[in-house]
Chain A
Amino acid sequence: MERKGRERKLPGMKIVMPTPVETPTMNLEDRCLIKLTNESEEIEIAATDLVVLEELGKGGYGIVEKMQHRQSGIIMAVKRIKSSINDQSQKQMLNELDACRRSDCCPQMVRFYGAMFREGDVWICMEVMDTSLDKFYRHAYKIGKHIPEPFIGKMALSVIEGLNFMKEQLNLIHRDVKPSNILLNRHGQVKICDFGISGHLTNSMAKTVQAGCKPYMPPERIDGETKSAYDVRADVWSLGITIIEIAVGTHPYANWKTPFEQLKQVVKEPPPKLPMESGFSVDCQYFVKRCLEKDYNERPKYPELLAMPFMEQARNEKQFSMARFINEILDTVWRR
Chain B
Amino acid sequence: MASVPSSSSLPVSHVRRHEDVSTPSAPPTKRSNNQSQPPESYEPNTWLQQQREQEQQKKLAAENIKKQSIEATGNNEMVGEEEEDILSKPCGPHKRRFQFVMIRNITFAIPEGYDVEPNSIEYLGGGSFGNVIKTSAVCRDGLRRYVAIKKMREPFFDPHHARRIFRETKLLQLMRHDNIICALDIYTPDEENDFRDVYVVTEFAGRSLYQILKQQRDYGRRVLTDEHIKFIIYQIIRALKYIHSANIIHRDLKPGNLALTDDSDLMILDFGLARSLEKKDTSLTQYVQTRWYRSPEVIYWKIDSYTNLADMWSLGCIAAELLTGEPLFPGDEPNAQYQRITQLCGSPDEELLTKIENDNSSAIKAVIQSYTTHKRRNFRDVFSAHNPSEDFIDLLEKLLVLDPEKRITVEEAIQHPYLAEFSLPEDEPRADHIFDLDDSQARTRFEWRDAVWKEIMNYKRLSSSPLIPGEADR
Contacts and interface: CB of A to CB of B under 8 A. Distances in A.
Given A209-B290, A211-B286, A258 B300 contact: yes
Nearest to B30: A1
Interface of A: prevailing SS = loop
Contact of B339 (A224, A258, A264): A224
- Chain A interface size, under 10 / 10 to 19 / 20 to 34 / 35 or more: 35 or more
B228 A257 contact: no
B106 A15 contact: no
Nearest to B302: A258
Contacts of B227: 10, 12-13
Contact of A268 (B215, B338, B370): B370
Contacts of B128: 82, 209
Interface stretch (B40-48, B136-144, B217-225, B380-388): B217-225
A3 B25 contact: yes
B344 interface: no
Given A120-B131, A208-B290, A224 B263 contact: no
A16 interface: yes
A239 B28 CA distance: 59
Interface string A26-64: 001110000000000000000000000000001000010
Contact of B26 (A1, A10, A13): A1
B303 interface: yes
B53 interface: no
A4 B429 CA distance: 12
B74 interface: no
Given A3-B25, A211-B286, A9 B427 contact: no
Contact of A260 (B221, B260, B301, B332): B301
Contacts of A206: 332-333
Nearest to B107: A119
Given A3-B25, A14-B263, A28-B104, A259 B338 contact: yes
Interface stretch (B75-83, B109-117, B360-368, B405-413): B360-368
A227 B336 contact: yes
A1 B303 CA distance: 43
A264 B335 contact: no
Contact of B364 (A1, A2, A203, A258): A258
Contacts of B290: 208-209
B107 to A, nearest CB: 7
Given A3-B20, A257-B303, A258-B301, A207 B332 contact: yes
Given A18-B223, A210-B291, A211-B286, A259 B300 contact: yes
A28 B105 contact: yes
B372 interface: yes
A120 B104 contact: yes
Contact of A212 (B131, B286, B368): B286
A5 B27 CA distance: 13
Contacts of A73: none
B24 interface: yes
A1 B426 CA distance: 14
Contacts of A83: 126
Contacts of B372: 225
B379 interface: no
Interface string B310-343: 0000000000000000000010111110110000
Contacts of B125: 85
B367 A264 contact: yes
Contacts of B228: 13, 15
Contacts of B207: 17
A210 B303 CA distance: 13
A122 B21 CA distance: 45
A119 B225 contact: no
A118 B131 CA distance: 12
Given A13-B228, A120-B106, A210 B264 contact: no
A268 B21 CA distance: 64
Contacts of A203: 332
Interface in A215-244: 221-225, 227
Contacts of B301: 258, 260
Interface string B333-360: 1111011000000000000000000001
B224 to A, nearest CB: 7
A117 interface: yes
A24 interface: no
A145 B372 CA distance: 48
A144 interface: no
A58 B159 CA distance: 13
B263 A13 contact: yes
Contacts of A117: 105
Interface string A107-146: 0000000000111100000000000000000000000000
Given A8-B424, A120-B106, A258-B364, A15 B286 contact: no
Contacts of B212: 15, 17
A28 B107 CA distance: 14
Given A5-B427, A15-B264, A210 B24 contact: no
A312 interface: no
B154 interface: yes
Nearest to B26: A1
B422 A8 contact: yes
B303 A258 contact: yes
A18 B368 contact: no
Contacts of A225: 335, 339, 371-372
B100 interface: no
Interface in B409-429: 421-422, 424, 427
Nearest to A20: B215
B158 interface: yes
B223 A16 contact: yes
A58 B157 contact: yes
Contacts of A29: 105
Given A18-B221, A260-B300, A120 B153 contact: yes
B24 A1 contact: yes
B276 interface: no
- Among all A-B residue pairs, the 7 with the closest Cβ atoms: A224-B335, A259-B334, A1-B24, A4-B427, A212-B286, A260-B367, A224-B336
23 contacts: A1-B26, A9-B231, A13-B227, A13-B231, A14-B264, A15-B260, A16-B223, A18-B219, A25-B104, A58-B157, A84-B126, A85-B126, A120-B131, A203-B332, A211-B286, A212-B286, A224-B336, A224-B338, A225-B372, A227-B335, A257-B286, A258-B364, A260-B301
Given A3-B24, A17-B212, A63-B154, 9 more contacts: A14-B263, A15-B212, A85-B104, A118-B106, A224-B335, A225-B335, A257-B303, A259-B335, A268-B370
